[in-house]
Amino acid sequence: MKERVTLTLETELLEQVDKRIDGIKVKNRSHAVELMLYKALGKNKPILGLILAGGKGTRLKPITHEIPKPLVPLQGKPIIEYTMELFKKFGIKDVLLSIGYKGDKIKDYYGNGKRHDLNIIYLEEDKPLGTGGPLKLAKQYLTDTFVMCNADELKSIDLEEMYYFHKKNNAVVTIALTTVKDPSAYGVARLEGSKILEFIEKPKKEDAPSNLINSGLYIMEPEVLKYLPENQETVSIEKDVFPRLAQAGKLYGYPFSGQWFDTGTLERYEKAIAEWKGL
C-alpha cells in the first residue's frame, strides 16, 4: 500500500533527483525519490543468494568428464565466478551453493568462501533434485527475500532495480527475462502486463507469444516454499512451481537489457567465450 506525501526540497537537491529520471528505469520524480530512499535505508537488494551448481553438464562433454560445469573456464575464470561477482557487486556476501556432480571439486576450489570475500554454505545433493529440490535443502536459511540462479549462465543485470520491481508488485517470485531473436529453443513467457501467465515451451518462432525467455535468475520470497510439491523429492521449479504461482497471480517477469549467455552446449559456450564483455 502506498500513501501520498508532500516534500519540500532545496532546488539544488531537486535538480539532483531529476537527473536520475530517464523515463525507462526511473519514470518520474516520485519514482526517483522512492528508489533513493530504498538505497538509503538499505532495503534495496536481497541479502542472500542461492546458486544451483549440481548439474552434470552432459551437453558440455568431454570437458565435464573431468571438471564440474560451474568450474569450466571462460575468459580465464570459472563460469560460476561471474555469478559470484554479480552478487558481490550488489553487496550479497552470503551464498548457498547447491552441489552434486563432482561437488568436492567445487568445495576444494571455494572452501568456505573467505578467500573470495564470501560466506558459503554448501547444500549437498546425494542425488539430482531438479531445479526446485535445493529449495527444500535450503529451507532453514530462507527467512527473507533472496535471489536464486543457475551457475552456468552469464548475466549482467541490475539486482537493485529488479528487487524494487519485485517488491512493488508484491510478487512471490520474479523471473529475470531476457530477449532473444529466436525463442523457439526456449520456454517463452506469455505476459499480461508484468504478470506471467505461462511459459510456452519451444514454440515455432512465428507462434511465440513474445521474445522473452527465462534467464535463469529469480528473486524469491520465503513463501515460495509453500508452492513446492510436498511428497515429491525431485522438483522442477519450471514445471512444478511456476505454473502454480502463475495461477495464483504471484509470478512476475522483469525484462532486462543487459548481457545474457547460456553456456549449456559447446556451441553456446564458444559464443560466450567470444562475446561476453563482463559485468
3-state SS of 91-151? CCCEEEEEECCCHHHHHHHHCCCHHHCCEEEEEECCCCCCCCHHHHHCHHHCCCCEEEEEC
Task: Give, as one character, the DSSP assignment of residue 86.
Answer: H
Q: Strands 195-201 and 187-192: what pairing?
A: antiparallel
- DSSP string across 176-218: EEEE-S-GGGSEEEEEETTEEEEEEES--GGG-S-SEEEEEEE
Give tens-digit pLDDT for 105-118.
999 999 999 999 99
Tell me the CA distances in angstroms from 255 to 28, 153, 270, one per residue in order: 19, 16, 25
Predicted pLDDT of residue 25: 60
Helix (H) or strand (E) holding 153: strand 153-155
Predicted pLDDT of residue 195: 95
Per-position pLDDT tens, the chain of length 279: 567 778 887 888 888 878 878 765 677 888 777 777 766 665 667 889 999 998 887 888 888 888 899 999 999 999 999 999 999 999 999 999 999 889 999 999 999 999 999 999 999 988 888 989 999 999 999 999 999 999 989 999 999 999 999 998 999 999 999 998 888 888 899 999 999 999 888 888 888 889 999 999 999 999 999 999 988 888 999 999 999 999 999 999 999 989 999 898 899 999 999 999 988
Q: Are 138 and 224 in contact (CB under 8 A)?
A: no
Predicted pLDDT of residue 236: 92
Predicted pLDDT of residue 24: 57
Residues 198-231, buried b or exposed e (16+ Cβ, 10 A)? bbbeebeeeebebbbbbbbbbbbbeebeebbeee
From 61, 139, 202, 205, the catalytic residue: 202
Question: Is 114 noted as a catalytic residue in this protein?
Answer: no
Q: Pick from 177, 150, 135, 147: which is nearest to 44 by CA?
A: 147
Helix (H) or strand (E) holding 270: helix 266-275
Predicted pLDDT of residue 2: 63
Q: How far apart are CA 18 and CA 146, in angstroms?
A: 31
